Amino acid sequence: MKISSSWVREFVDLSVDDRRLAEDLTAVGIAVEGISGSGADTVFEMEIGTNRPDAMNHYGVAREAAAIYDLPLKELSAFSCQLSAKASGAKAQSSVKASNAAQKRRSSTGGGAKKASAAKADSSSASRGAAGSRAPSKQSSQRASEDAAFPITVEEPELCPRFSARVIRGTTIKPSPEKIAHRLQLLDQRPISNAVDATNYVLWEMGKPTHVFDMDLLEGGRLIIRRAKDGEKLKTLDGVERTLSSEDLVVADAKRPVGLAGVMGGFDTMITDKTKNVLIESAWWDPGTVRKTSRRHGIHTDASHRFERGADFESTVLSCDLVAKLILESGGGELVGGAIDVVSRQMDQAPIVLRLSEVHRILGSKLTTGEIFRILKKLGFGVIPEGQADAKFRVQIPSWRLDVEREIDLIEEIARLHGYDKFENTLPAYRGAVVELPHAAADATLRERALALGYNEAVSLTFISHAAAESFSSGAAVLEVENPLSEEASVMRTSLAPGMLDMLARNLNRDAEDVRLFEMGRVYEMRGGERVEPARLCLGATLTAVKNALPAGAVLDVSKGEHAAAAETFRSFKGDVENLLAAFAHNQLSFDRETAEYFHPGRSARAIMDGAAVAQFGQIADDVKSERKLRQDVFLAEIDLEQLHRRGLRQVRFAPLGKYPAVERDFSFVFSDDMGFEAMRRAVMGLGIPELSEFKAVEIFRGGAIPTGKYSILLRARLQSDEGTLRDEQIAAWSGQIVKALQELGGVQRV
Amino acid sequence: MAYTISKLTDYSAAALERASAELFSALGDEASTVKNEGDWKIFRDRWMARKNGVLTQINDLWLKAAPKEAKREVGLRVNLIKEQVEQQVADAKVRYQIPELPISSATSEISETNLRRDAIGKAGIIDITLPGIRRPIGAEHPVVKTTNEMVRVFQRLGYSVAEGPVVETDYYNFESLNFPPNHPARDTQDTLFIAGQQAKPQRERLLLRTHTSPVQIRTMEKMRPPLRIVIPGTVHRNDPLDASHSPMFHQIEGLAVDTNITFGDLKGTLDHAMKEFFGSSVKTSFRPSFFPFTEPSAEMFVSCFICGGSGRRGTDPCRPCKQTGWIEILGCGMVDPNVFEFVKDNGYDPRKVSGFAFGMGADRIALLKYGVDDIQLFFQGDVRFLRQWA
Ligand SMILES: [Zn+2]
């Protein structure tokens, strides 16, 4: 929002320069984000919080400035006595005084010109009087003015508690005077014509949206504030024909809607250069209704922005008059009748009790009653001290501060004007212990290990496409985004795999080939009607990276060809997964081939820890590779942290070091390809030889003298006793048992 | 013609010297012929074997046979010979393993320099300026790293970590944080909603939490005051990706509730935390702001840690602080009594307790701290970017 500093200065005599003014406004929360232009054309770029519609205009900013510097705020008034005398004998003088804290109360009689002016007089006296207010008189739900100037009927008094209007006859529509046009242009507003610009000018001047109709185009010579009929049509000022519903509030003439209440006027009744007679409207609309209508039709206007946040109830007549004055000054014409002011319901701003003790309890600073009193007065609050020992104030809220409803709201006003930085910094006493999240240690361990293994930590977006959700489905129902940014980001991820593949592809496309990434994060799915967010860890690596990580000395399969290479790279990647899993408590870790379809069927595995699947990993399937245009094979591991969390970290228990020398015995066997090492290891370990501390594969070979479909494997047993040096006969006996067990698996010993 | 030990008949010093010289000469000659392990074993055994080795023979033929009065002199000689033989045998082994090692003479001087030169060996020196082979260590993600560092600052101040779901209900994300239905403040949140929620009552409808603040209520429902929590987490907004916006980002939230928490405590705590995180020279400044769930609300600025608050870097304007010398870091405020009303029954009577809350963007702090110019880089997994934190 833009604010002209010279316009602000019209309402308060400021001695500070623009830069200082900007800083001081910012310090009280009327934030100036930038300054442009110079001299009289200096413009502040403002950032006003949604709770402060009262400051979204020049008079409102001036009011804050007056409070900051404790200077008088000039009155905003429309008509001199001379002008109002011309206005068909009505007492049209209206004004608002900044420091007028009194609650304005008006008992509407729903009248025409005479009655309206009576109401006006009533309100004036109330406003000048003390805080005392009369309860609104009982009112019928329907108000009509049988006015000579223009009859108004409010059928929805709850949604339109106040509707004010003015009539001008015989004016000329033409461009605005230079001063008006220039000011609007400074604020990036496009001048249109004197009448339209007048409403815009008043909006920016004092914040109250108004609307002007070509009165001759209003059929039936009357206005009705009513709900729209379902299916009723209205072409709004932007030229769009809109279909209304009964939830929309409209301003209608005798035949049709002519404006969407508080949002936008109608196209067919707008001011044109042929317009002679003008009806000015300024109402107070129910914020919720304006908001709903604005959302339903997707129209956000300067008017709806303010009405949604709450306009000044007491500014309807004044704003009409200010618009009228501008039109009369530029286009001439005559004000007909008095101010029309239909008040169907009062705004109830009850006084607030403010306790000194509460100010101190929340702010911590010992502000005095004098300081508090002065701050509130400067901001236009009416303050009546109450009680001596238990210091209290009864605070009247100005009509433009609909955001101030509670004691805490007043405490904020006090803190704001006092200056946040003036409060002393203190540290509260501390009691209680710091509690870690249950899985913090496990997650930190995994993260450290992944980093140590050379995986770079990555964070990917949590959205995936429908296609990816299908390809990487866990079987659970997915969570779709109602208003996604794109189809690519329309489903909450159910797996970290698609994001990881995207990141790997991105790197490969940028000629980074040695890539290792990991991501720890949550996935999102529905289980049994409940949403769950299980934690996962995903490793991703390119073939280049996996190969580079394979230490030359660790090669098992010494045969030539693709099969051995694939086996060795798989083992290289598997070792990383094992390093992560090894941190967790378990008795048994085994592997099978039950992996998702996006894994290569022959080069992927599922890790099972004590009966529960904890991970699937391996090379990605060829079709996924080509679909995603991956420039080389990549490896993924998806680790289920829920399962690992359940197990917890392995607790280390010291095992005594062997005192007696270990003996190693090698066994060279030929097996058929379908016999895996794990079966051999299980068979041998299953012999129950306590001295057998390790059984491992040392070398694998295919080809040469070994027939197709078979392979040679060199196995090594490590034997060690806690009781003494092993004797040759013992070793020979165990070796015999091992050979027998391997032979029972179909192995043929090579000698 | 191989050397053979002669019996001694003359035990005079001169005769002993002659016999020794003859032996040493033979020892040197034979040592020089050792070319491999086989040669060496023969050499070793000829001179040192217990049965019939040269040393054994000398012992028998020279020492044992010597007359009483010559025994001492002969003993010394034999010992010297023994030392030399052992030395030559050892050297011979090294020589065939490292062939260029010069044959040390029995009398050669041993100097420091020679030792160093000898130790270099045949291959000579290597280029120690070539880069080392580094086994890669993974790099921490800058946003995770920043988050962890900030969380640790608050843990040291007595805050426990709390968490909550990313897919939230309207109740926790908005209603219980004093965003009533249809309130304009909801507009500022640019919410992403979960599809298919229309049939549910508004407060049960699912959305992607727009801030980590729902965890405040969730934690207060579970734990009674006093409370101190720090909440790191992923949040989402309907913001298209550009250099400074991402539909997914990360917040770090904090909440302290007790019987005596004041606005001064809020300021003091955050000032302390910022000094610990950015360095003790940073200053903080608070300006009024608006959040539905805090009142009074504030935005906290820290003095620019890039230009030191001067607004300039040398002769150039400082861009991160837009030349103001201040950088906005977080939003904060005293917990609004309306928020406490939602958890009043768990000990949070707003008349008895007070508290403060704050929330900051981890990504934004990481952007500023490391001078990253595009938030998208955080979420692309590009190793050229990530490796910079290795
Ligand atoms: Zn700076």
pLDDT at residue A144, as a whole number = 45
pLDDT at residue A504, as a whole number = 98
**Is A320 within 8 Å of A166 (Cβ atoms)?**
yes
Q: Report residue B295 as tokens.
A: 């009142």
pLDDT at residue B106, as a whole number = 47
Residue A622 host element (H or E): helix A622-627
Q: Which residue of B has its CA nearest to A463?
A: B248
Q: Which residues of A touch B162 (CB under 8 A)?
A: 437
Q: List pLDDT tens digits, range A262-292.
A: 999 999 999 999 999 999 999 999 999 999 9
Which residue among B192, B228, B268 places its CB closest to the CB of A432? Answer: B228
Compute the mean pLDDT over every residue in chain A, rounded to the nearest whole number. 88
pLDDT at residue A485, as a whole number = 92
Residues B296, B376 share a domain: yes
- Under DSSP, the state recorded for A477 is B
Residues B154, B57 share a domain: no
Which of B172, B380, B384, B385 has the most A C-beta neighbours within 10 Å, making it the best mutation to test the interface with A? Answer: B380
Q: How far is B228 from chain A (nearest CA, A)?
A: 9
Q: List pLDDT tens digits, range B192-222.
A: 999 999 999 999 999 999 999 999 999 999 9
Whether residue A415 has pLDDT greater than 70: yes
Q: Which residue of B has its CA nearest to A479?
A: B194
Instruction: Tell me what the mean pLDDT of segment A620-631 comes to.
Output: 95
**Is A549 within 8 Å of B138 (Cβ atoms)?**
no
Q: List pLDDT tens digits, range B79-112.
A: 888 888 888 888 888 777 765 555 555 444 555 6
Q: List pLDDT tens digits, range B245-267.
A: 999 999 999 999 999 999 999 99
Residues B345, B201 share a domain: yes
- Interchain proximity B138–A533, CB inside 8 Å: no
Cβ contacts of residue B257 below 8 Å, gap of 6+? B220, B225, B226, B227, B228, B335, B348, B353, B354, B355
Does B174 reside within a domain? yes
Q: Which residues of A touch B334 (CB under 8 A)?
A: 362, 408
- Interchain proximity A426–B208, CB inside 8 Å: no
Residues B295, B214 share a domain: yes
Q: Residue B322 C-alpha to ligand 1 middle, in angstroms?
A: 7
Residue A349's pLDDT band, with cuts at 50, 70 and 90, is confident
pLDDT at residue B258, as a whole number = 96
pLDDT at residue A79, as a whole number = 67
Residue B319's pLDDT band, with cuts at 50, 70 and 90, is confident
Which of B218, B303, B382 has the most A C-beta neighbours within 10 Å, making it the best mutation to test the interface with A? Answer: B382
Which of B96, B123, B150 is the last residue before a domain boundary? B123
CA distance linking residue A240 with residue A267, whole number of Å: 9
Whether residue A432 has pLDDT greater than 90: no
CA distance linking residue A498 with residue A123, whole number of Å: 68
pLDDT at residue B116, as a whole number = 64
Does B257 reside within a domain? yes
pLDDT at residue B12, as a whole number = 83
Residues B329, B210 share a domain: yes
Does B7 reside within a domain? no
Q: Residue B304 C-alpha to ligand 1 middle, in angstroms?
A: 4
Residues B167, B91 share a domain: no
Is residue A672 helix, strand or coil?
Answer: strand
- Interchain proximity A423–B264, CB inside 8 Å: yes
Which of B93, B123, B153 is the last residue before a domain boundary? B123
Q: How far is B138 from chain A (nearest CA, A)?
A: 4
The sign of the torsion formed by the CA atoms of A153, A158, A159, A164 equals: positive
DSSP strand E in chain B: where? 160-161, 167-169, 206-208, 227-236, 248-258, 284-291, 294-303, 312-313, 316-317, 326-335, 354-361
- Interchain proximity B287–A440, CB inside 8 Å: no
Inter-chain contacts counted by CB atoms under 8 A, chains A and B:
238
**Is A296 within 8 Å of A245 (Cβ atoms)?**
yes
CA distance linking residue A571 with residue A556, whole number of Å: 9
pLDDT at residue B117, as a whole number = 64
Does B160 reside within a domain? yes
Q: Residue B250 C-alpha to ligand 1 middle, in angstroms?
A: 23
pLDDT at residue B1, as a whole number = 57
Q: Residue A27 C-alpha to ligand 1 middle, in angstroms?
A: 19
Name the more confident of A647 and B115. A647
pLDDT at residue A138, as a whole number = 36
Which residue among A492, A506, A521 places its CB closest to the CB of B167? Answer: A492
Domains in chain A, please, with CATH? 2-69 (3.30.56.10), 89-119+129-343 (3.50.40.10), 352-420 (3.30.56.10), 440-647 (3.30.930.10), 663-749 (3.30.70.380)
CA distance linking residue B384 with residue A510, whole number of Å: 9
CA distance linking residue A80 with residue A92, whole number of Å: 9
Q: List pLDDT tens digits, range B38-50.
A: 888 888 888 988 8
Q: Which residue of B has its CA nearest to A449?
A: B138
- Interchain proximity B379–A51, CB inside 8 Å: no
Q: Which residue of A has its CA nearest to B335?
A: A362
- Interchain proximity B139–A451, CB inside 8 Å: yes
Q: Which residues of A touch B386 (CB under 8 A)?
A: 456-458, 517
Whether residue B381 has pLDDT greater than 90: yes
Whether residue A538 has pLDDT greater than 80: yes
| Phi, psi values for residue A516, rounded to 5° | -130, 125
Q: How far is A354 from chain B (nearest CA, A)?
A: 13
Q: How far is A71 from chain B (nearest CA, A)?
A: 21
Whether residue A530 has pLDDT greater than 50: yes
User: Residues with beta carbon < 5 A to ion ligand 1?
Assistant: B 304, 306-307, 318, 321
Which residue among B247, B296, B380 places its CB closest to the CB of A503? Answer: B380
pLDDT at residue A155, as a whole number = 94
Whether residue A84 has pLDDT greater than 60: no
pLDDT > 70 in chain A, percent = 90
Residues B72, B35 share a domain: yes
Cβ contacts of residue A341 below 8 Å, gap of 6+? A108, A116, A119, A120, A162, A163, A164, A165, A316, A317
Residues B112, B187 share a domain: no
Name the more confident of A498 and B31. A498
Q: List pLDDT tens digits, range B137-192.
A: 999 999 999 999 999 999 999 999 999 999 999 999 999 999 988 777 787 778 99
Q: List pLDDT tens digits, range A460-505.
A: 999 999 999 999 988 889 999 999 999 999 999 999 999 999 999 9
- Interchain proximity B136–A454, CB inside 8 Å: yes
CATH number of the domain to which B257 belongs: 3.30.930.10
CA distance linking residue B127 with residue B12, whole number of Å: 57
pTM exceeding 0.90: no
Residues B165, B39 share a domain: no
Name the more confident of A568 and B102. A568
Does B228 reside within a domain? yes
A402-416, A524-538, B114-128: segment of lowest average pLDDT: B114-128
pLDDT at residue B115, as a whole number = 64
pLDDT at residue A148, as a whole number = 52
Q: How far is B275 from chain A (nearest CA, A)?
A: 13
Residues B191, B328 share a domain: yes
Range of the domain at B45: 13-123
Q: Residue B300 C-alpha to ligand 1 middle, in angstroms?
A: 15
Q: Given phi > 0 = left and psi -120 to 50 = alpha, else beta, which region is B26?
A: alpha
Does B51 reside within a domain? yes
pLDDT at residue B153, as a whole number = 97
Does B263 reside within a domain? yes
Residues B162, B116 share a domain: no
Whether residue A671 has pLDDT greater than 90: yes
Which residue among B158, B167, B287 places its CB closest to the CB of A420? Answer: B287
Instruction: Enter the ipTM.
Output: 0.85
Which residue among B139, B240, B269 places its CB closest to the CB of A456? Answer: B139
Residue A122's pLDDT band, with cuts at 50, 70 and 90, is very low
pLDDT > 90 in chain B, percent = 57
Q: Residue B151 C-alpha to ligand 1 middle, in angstroms?
A: 25
Q: List pLDDT tens digits, range A591-617.
A: 999 999 999 999 999 999 999 999 999
Instruction: Tell me what the mean pLDDT of segment A648-665 comes to.
Output: 92
DSSP strand E in A356-498: where? 382-386, 392-396, 456-457, 463-464, 491-492
Residue B8's pLDDT band, with cuts at 50, 70 and 90, is confident
Does B307 reside within a domain? yes
pLDDT at residue A105, as a whole number = 36
CA distance linking residue A339 with residue A91, whole number of Å: 8
Pick from A616, A605, A596: which is nearest to A677 by CA? A605
pLDDT at residue B73, as a whole number = 84
Q: List pLDDT tens digits, range A43-67.
A: 999 999 888 999 999 999 999 999 9
Residues B160, B57 share a domain: no
Q: How far is A27 from chain B (nearest CA, A)?
A: 5
Domain count, chain B: 2
